[in-house]
């Protein structure tokens, strides 16, 4: 069990970082220049027999 009380400052700081990560993930996807072919698609488009 957590003995110490979380201060208001700590609470806001953690919340702020969490929100930042939440927003940053989709932004990373937008700026990522990899193609949108899934790994599975990429595999079958590359390794077809014949």
Interface contacts to other proteins, rule CB under 8 A = 37, 40-41, 44-45, 48-50
Are 45 and 37 within 8 A, CB to CB?
yes
What minimum distance in Å lies between the beta carbon of 40 and other proteins?
8
Of 16, 12, 10, 25, residue with least CA distance to 2: 10
Q: Residue 10 or 41: which CB sits closer to other proteins?
A: 41
Q: Residue 13 or 43: which CB sits closer to other proteins?
A: 43
Angle 7-10-14 from CA coordinates, rounded to 5°: 145
Q: Residue 3 or 46: which CB sits closer to other proteins?
A: 46
């Amino acid at each position: 069990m957590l003995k110490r009380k979380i201060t208001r400052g700590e609470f806001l700081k953690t919340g702020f970082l969490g929100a930042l990560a939440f927003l940053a993930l989709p932004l990373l996807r937008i700026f990522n220049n990899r193609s949108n072919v899934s790994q599975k698609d990429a595999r079958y488009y590359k390794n077809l027999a014949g």
